A and B are shown apart, each in its own frame.
Chain A
Amino acid sequence: MINNELIRLHFRSVCAEGDMAAYDALYRLMYSRLVHFSAAIVGSFHLAEEIVSDVFIMIWQKRQELTNVENPVVYIYISTKNRSLNTLQQQKRHRHASLDMLDTDALTISPDAEHTIISAEIVQKIEAAIRSLPDRCQLIFRLVKQDGLRYKDVAELLEISPKTVDAQLAIAVKKVAAAIRLNMPQELAQAFLFS
């Protein structure tokens, strides 16, 4: 993804040169995705926004030590994950905060109605289909589809194998496709059949 390449470049500029403009650009590129990711873990957008802000401040303060970070995208996501889990542990005194219980509302995405060829009704069906998936599966679908993470990045972040990412994504895609097909108007289905 072009975005991920940009993130890498900006991250390097921040670490190597203390480039404030690159810091701003990095923030703008990653803010929304990280907030949604964190909110899914801590169950609050308000908290998540603070956590993401903390992560960026940490990056700026530690920038000189981060010049050797191999994969900045994964590094930033993992930092966000860890800080979110820590916060959850402190907040709710959970002994074992984990990624197994997620607030999936924060993860939900749907086709952009403005640019879509499908009706609002089908968009709702797609949403429902995604919501019926296990938490982890929803998270993986979002990380790939919305955040543009590579399979190996998702695997590293969630500490699973790339093969699992593949399999989980196939399950999600199948569900979404089924929701679309079940609701496809007859003539449209015909048009596709004969195109």
Chain B
Amino acid sequence: MTHDRIWYLLGRKMANELLPEEEKELERLLQQYPDVSYAKEVLLQSWKDKQKDFAAADVEAALQRNKQRLLEVQVEEVPTPRTNKIFRMALRLGSVAAAAILLFIGGRMWLSRQADSKPGQPALQQLVTKTGSRTYIKLPDGTSVWLNAGSKLDYPEQFHGSNREVVLREKPISKWRKMPSILSL
């Protein structure tokens, strides 16, 4: 069909890709086939989405949700993705170890029930995070910890000697400078 050239040019016209000489060619062809002018009008007018024709308010709401998420991930950005991955792996290993440690500590607590309040025990500090808020803390030995929402961390005011013991409940998002020697989960 001789019309084929028209469709090609009309497509380019619609896409704003028409070269000046093609523009002239299209004009000539449209004079030859005036009924196509009607199709041209329709093709060049604005079209709308059949489904999900978003109103400006919908887009605005989506943007606000996105900004909220952006704020949340920016907090999580603090440990770099690589450390995070390594840490998650460590956490997985750690949870196995933690079960063992828990048994050990449980046993020890049972054994040392009588000698409960030993003199010279360092004073403990407790940090509790509210649900929905993450907290950053620097321990006395310089270890930095990010505590996830709804977590609890017991730690001494001062670490003495090589015994660096902290007790953590709930899951942490943290970056240990140097793992404390005993970690109870």
B64 to chain A, nearest CB (A): 10
Are B77 and A144 in contact, CB atoms less than 8 angstroms apart? no
Are B7 and A112 in contact, CB atoms less than 8 angstroms apart? no
Given A115-B46, A170-B8, A39-B77 contact (CB < 8 Å): no
Are A24 and B63 in contact, CB atoms less than 8 angstroms apart? yes
Contacts of A105 in B (CB 8 A): 50-51
Are A115 and B50 in contact, CB atoms less than 8 angstroms apart? no
Cβ-based interface call for A45 (8 A) = yes
Given A151-B17, A188-B38, A60-B10 contact (CB < 8 Å): no
Contacts of B59 in A (CB 8 A): 27-28, 31-32
Cβ-based interface call for A150 (8 A) = yes
Are A49 and B62 in contact, CB atoms less than 8 angstroms apart? yes
Contacts of B69 in A (CB 8 A): 53, 57
Q: Nearest chain-A residue to B4 (Cβ)?
A: A170
Are A111 and B45 in contact, CB atoms less than 8 angstroms apart? yes
Contacts of B34 in A (CB 8 A): 192-195
Contacts of A97 in B (CB 8 A): none
Contacts of B116 in A (CB 8 A): none
Given A28-B63, A31-B59, A193-B35, A180-B70 contact (CB < 8 Å): no
Q: Size band of the A side of the interface?
A: 35 or more
Are B43 and A189 in contact, CB atoms less than 8 angstroms apart? no
Contacts of B39 in A (CB 8 A): 173, 176-177, 180-181
Are A189 and B35 in contact, CB atoms less than 8 angstroms apart? yes
Considering the chains assembled together, what is the distance between the CA atoms of A193 and B30 in angstroms? 10
Are A1 and B50 in contact, CB atoms less than 8 angstroms apart? no
Considering the chains assembled together, what is the distance between the CA atoms of A62 and B183 in angstroms? 35
Are A109 and B63 in contact, CB atoms less than 8 angstroms apart? no
Considering the chains assembled together, what is the distance between the CA atoms of A15 and B148 in angstroms? 30
Cβ-based interface call for B179 (8 A) = no
Are A176 and B52 in contact, CB atoms less than 8 angstroms apart? no
Considering the chains assembled together, what is the distance between the CA atoms of A144 and B44 in angstroms? 12
User: Can you list 17 A-B contacts (CB < 8 A)?
Assistant: A53-B62, A53-B65, A57-B73, A108-B51, A109-B47, A109-B50, A110-B48, A115-B45, A116-B42, A117-B42, A150-B17, A151-B17, A170-B8, A173-B39, A177-B10, A181-B35, A188-B38
| Residues in chain B within 8 A of chain A (CB atoms) | 3-4, 7-8, 10-12, 14-17, 34-39, 41-43, 45-52, 54, 56, 59-60, 62-63, 65-67, 69-70, 73, 77
Given A111-B48, A173-B10, list of 17 further CB < 8 A pairs? A27-B62, A45-B51, A56-B66, A57-B73, A106-B52, A108-B49, A110-B48, A166-B8, A169-B15, A170-B8, A173-B7, A174-B4, A176-B43, A181-B36, A189-B38, A195-B34, A195-B37
A-B residue pairs, 8 tightest by C-beta: A177-B39, A169-B11, A108-B50, A174-B7, A170-B7, A170-B8, A109-B47, A32-B54
